[in-house]
Chain A
Amino acid sequence: MTLLSIEDLSVVIRRPGRRVAALSGVNLSVEPGEVVGLVGESGGGKSMVARSIVGLLPGGSRTSGRVMFDGADVLTMDAAELEAFRGHGAAICFQNPRGALSPTRTVGRQLVDRLVTHRSLAPAPAREVAAELFESVGIRSPRRRLDAYPHELSGGMAQRVMISLATGCAPGLLIADEPTTGLDVTLTREILNRFRLAANAERRGVLLISHDLASIAEVCDRVVVLYAGTVVESGPGPQVLHEPAHPYTRALLRSVPDIDGRPVTATPGAMPLLTEAPSSCPFAPRCAHATQLCTADLPVAGPLAMDWSAACFHPRSGPLDDSAEPPVPAEIPPAGTVPSAGTATSPGVKESVLRIEDAHVVYRSRFGGGGHHALRGVSLSVAAGERLGVVGESGCGKSTLARVMLGLVQPSRGRVEVAGQALAELRGARLRRLRTRAQLVFQDPIGSLSPRRTVQDAIGEPLRAAGVPAAERASRVARALERMELDPSILGRRPHELSGGQAQRVGIARALVGEPDLIVFDEPTSALDVTVQAQILKVIAEVSGDSSRGSVFISHDLATVRGFCDRVVVLYLGRIVEEGPVEEVFGNPGHPYTRALLSSAPSLGAGYGGPQVELTKDLEEADAAGGCALAPRCPFATDECGEQEQELRPYGASLVACRRAAEIPALIER
């Protein structure tokens, strides 16, 4: 019997002056023991589906259709039935586990609360059960953790607690809303496997919600793709992932940079916010295959095969990376194809625009005592026309490195030169002028624009600071705007009136307008939706192709860096562990850490071809003593690794900070 069956569900949210058709005619079902993935970009209606299942729709929403759970319609339940159903029938794991745990109650009590409510246990035995549950989700020393408050937990730990809370209600259906956002790759895998386990071992239905098809596809039996509140495609995971039928699914998948280095294709436009249920295909305006039929009529989901359907008049077939497929709207030039970019040129031959020597940064903690060592001796240089990628997990010092490059953070030791001049040697107006030679593009596009200033002001600011007269300023702003493919009507707007993609284009225009020697992109796409991300990547690829300028691209995502960098630096806890040409680092990594990063990166295509390497511990659990910082987590570490600091030494065409780099291939064999 079907556990959950959503039939023709529509949700319209009415607010004063605003009306949003959040869901239109959604059909979806989950069987016991089945993992169903629900994917799509933000605004597509994923969370709204989750909320309708537990009857938690926002104020002012009207629903039609049915949400059948075990034969009862959730939408028509009264308050008492709903209370009984929530948790026990379907339980949600929330997106931000730390926010979803009550800050003033120990996590143990929060779990006991659920057990007492849903399993009718007395508090004392409930505590025993809670400890067992904690253990079963992989929390070490569970009894001690029961008395912890949420703020004392790491992100991964909090997510585990959240899963135990949801499963503690003994629900038939487990809903996970973006359960792995903000977790690093290793943890992501583990958490996703927990859900697979819940379906296999406990026969629960699982609805897994994510914006990232690639990362969840492996654990899903079926995948449902949402676009603008409608289901555009639904089918078995492997099919949807590798030979999607709906043009949107294909666009979505093509927008994701992949570790195997296949080109990213950007789809123009953005998802519409519908005010009425659509009467034609909502994707038609962005679709390369759209015909008159698509803009006139609404396609219904048509079956393509067993369990596989797509709401499209012209469904595609064949594998995704069929390069013969006709109109490809825009392709990001892969590294090395831009003629001016000197891929093979070693730094030093060309004039270097940025040179950092042995930079150390220590953030003093406010109340004395130690402090946080963010960078521990980083040296690198960027030549004009070169594109350097910097990768690493969160907390590795990436953002600090960006700030050092811009002179926003003074290194406590070491030297930073921009355009041949040392930042530390200048003061006042000359320092300000030198600073304009390097520009930063921020992670948070809207936050990096002053809320009370217009787009015109924002883009023109570097010029104003440099004393460029108003008339010339306007024309240069217009030129930068044009290069970003933005409409001039945007000039009078303020940041909150921009979409994320527009704001980031404005940010890039601001960085570009003063013709700097160096542009640093600090995670420029991580706050954006997937298809928008691809568009911005295309813009960045174009901008960083200028031969007079060096670019630094900082990201936690290896695949993005692979897309268009010439050289890559891998950071781990404030140190460079590997540095080399992009093909070399991705194709023949030397450092165990790089190997582990590549092994765990999700991939739609061939993925990382080399042997798999897994680190033995989470970053949070490993206490680095002296010696190699990775030693506590490294599967190849010996006692000597824990004693000796590792220096960069040649390994193939790269530099690798590992004494055993050469032995590792042999070690893996065994």
Chain B
Amino acid sequence: MAEASGVREAGADRRFASSLITVGSVILAVVAVAVLFAPLLSSWGPEEIDPLASLAPPGGAHPLGTDLNGMDVWSRVLHAARLDVGIAVAAVALAVVAGSLVGLVAGYRGGWADDVLMRVLDVFQAFPTFILALAVAALLGGGTANLVAVIALVNAPAYARLVRAEVRSIRELPFVEASLTSGSSFWGVLWRHVLPNSLTPVRVIAPLNCGWAMLTLAGLSFLGLGVPLPTAEWGAMISLGSGDVVAGRWWTSVPPGLFLLICVLGFSLLGEGLQERADSTRR
């Protein structure tokens, strides 16, 4: 039985949190190297076709074999990191900025602006996010810019809600009243006191969200709603290789998924570590 008192050593949590953060950061650093030096790390281009090899098993000239079209899997897996990480990070950044701004103003102002926002968010919330992304992507069509927009759109409401809730509770804290009685203006209080304090949870959620955005992107591509084919993208690669799996040819779809997994895991570890650290400080 655990410590019957329920009182634990706070140190263990913090140590675990820092090791999560460290491992997550190392993974992301490795991914960053892959993103930057992809061309140097592979002898084939990502869309270069080896006419002599289609579905060649790993070994020889192709360290991870080739796919149906005779393209080098290793090279494609590396190059895909650029696109996947890039789109995910851009989309989350966009979602954070747009969502936080809307949440900040609505939460602090209250009134009709808040009501309208909440109703819009209600409609958004009537759908699971991936379904929403799927629907919008299917209707808008693929392409990098559209994908960023779609993923940002489905994520922004969460930030708006988060920041709005945070702002509403901060608004009631004594230091906001203190600032108002000091003669500060509405926007002054918002900018100097409410904003910096309301972004704390956003900082924790954003890395987790990056990982999730990559999964969304890959999922859309897997269903053929992402970037068009010769472009190297993990989800599309897995999709292309899915037929091979039943036949026991693992190398066309297992490596891209594994890379995706590692990359998302990097973000998750980082996010979880940050969350744990925030929690253990609060306790």
Contact = CB atoms under 8 A, between A and B. Distances in A.
Given A15-B10, A16-B14, A450 B193 contact: yes
Interface in A499-514: 507, 510, 514
Contacts of B184: 432, 461, 464-465
Interface string A492-524: 000000000000000100100010000000000
A58 B5 CA distance: 8
A330 interface: no
B183 A452 contact: no
B188 A59 contact: no
Contact of B7 (A59, A403, A408, A438): A59
A654 to B, nearest CB: 31
Given A453-B193, A465-B188, A16 B11 contact: yes
A453 B179 CA distance: 11
Interface residues of A, number: 40
Nearest to B9: A59
Contacts of B8: 59
A355 interface: no
Contacts of B180: 408, 435
Nearest to A438: B181
Nearest to B193: A450
Interface stretch (B146-154, B157-165, B170-178, B242-250): B170-178
Contacts of B144: none
A291 interface: no
A444 B174 contact: yes
Contact of B175 (A56, A403, A449): A449
Contact of A442 (B1, B178, B197): B178
Contacts of A444: 174
A57 B9 CA distance: 11
Interface in B46-88: none
B196 interface: yes
Nearest to A428: B185
B192 interface: yes
Interface string B178-211: 1111111100100011001100000000000000
Nearest to A495: B175
B60 to A, nearest CB: 53
Interface in A388-415: 403, 406-408
Contacts of B10: 15-16, 59
Contacts of A16: 10-11, 14-15
A309 interface: no
Interface string A455-467: 0000001101110
A436 interface: yes
A79 interface: yes
Contacts of A15: 9-11
Contact of A450 (B4, B185, B197): B197
B66 to A, nearest CB: 52
| Range class of the B interface residue count | 20 to 34
Interface in A578-603: none
Contacts of A452: 193, 196-197
A629 to B, nearest CB: 28
Contacts of B175: 447-451
A56 B181 contact: no
A433 B183 contact: yes
B13 to A, nearest CB: 10
Contacts of B1: 79
B183 A435 contact: yes
Interface in B123-142: none
A226 B125 CA distance: 56
B192 A440 contact: no
Nearest to B199: A452
A57 B196 CA distance: 37
A83 B14 CA distance: 30
Contacts of B196: 452
Contacts of B4: 56, 79, 82-83
B181 A453 contact: no
Interface string A604-645: 000000000000000000000000000000000000000000
A60 interface: yes
A433 B180 CA distance: 11
A461 B184 CA distance: 8
Task: Give the most central of B1, B5, B182: most A CB within 10 Å.
Answer: B182
Contacts of B178: 440, 442, 448-450, 507, 510
A467 to B, nearest CB: 10
A383 to B, nearest CB: 21
Contacts of A464: 184
B9 A466 contact: no
Contacts of B14: 16
Task: Give the most central of A79, A407, A465: most B CB within 10 Å.
Answer: A465
A429 B4 CA distance: 58
A410 B216 CA distance: 49
Interface string A51-62: 000001111100
Contacts of A442: 174, 177-178
Given A435-B181, A450-B197, A465-B182, A56 B7 contact: yes
Contacts of B3: 59
Interface string A205-227: 00000000000000000000000
Contacts of B15: 16
Contacts of A514: 182-183
B183 A465 contact: yes
Interface in A424-447: 429, 432-433, 435-436, 438-440, 442-444, 447
Contacts of B5: 56-58
A522 to B, nearest CB: 9
B177 A408 contact: yes
Contacts of A449: 175, 178
Contacts of B174: 442-444, 447-448
B173 A447 contact: yes
B194 to A, nearest CB: 9
A438 B181 CA distance: 8
Contacts of A448: 174-175, 177-178
Given A447-B174, A447-B175, A451-B197, A406 B7 contact: no
B185 to A, nearest CB: 6
A447 B9 CA distance: 27
A421 to B, nearest CB: 14
B5 to A, nearest CB: 5
A514 B178 CA distance: 13
B281 to A, nearest CB: 10
Contacts of B177: 403, 406, 408, 440, 442, 448
A575 B4 CA distance: 50
A59 B179 CA distance: 40
Contacts of A439: 181-182
Contacts of A56: 4-5, 7
A134 B15 CA distance: 47
Nearest to B1: A79
B230 to A, nearest CB: 49
Interface in A49-97: 56-60, 79, 82-83
Contact of A432 (B185, B192, B193, B197): B185
Task: Give the most central of B7, B8, B196: most A CB within 10 Å.
Answer: B7
Interface string A6-18: 0000000001100
Contacts of B173: 447
Given A442-B177, A452-B196, A507-B178, 17 more contacts: A15-B10, A16-B11, A58-B7, A60-B9, A60-B11, A408-B177, A408-B181, A432-B184, A433-B183, A435-B181, A439-B182, A447-B175, A449-B175, A450-B178, A451-B175, A461-B182, A514-B183
Interface of A: 15-16, 56-60, 79, 82-83, 403, 406-408, 429, 432-433, 435-436, 438-440, 442-444, 447-453, 461-462, 464-466, 507, 510, 514
* 6 A-B pairs with least C-beta separation: A436-B183, A465-B183, A59-B9, A16-B11, A448-B174, A462-B182
5 contacts: A15-B9, A432-B184, A442-B174, A462-B182, A510-B182
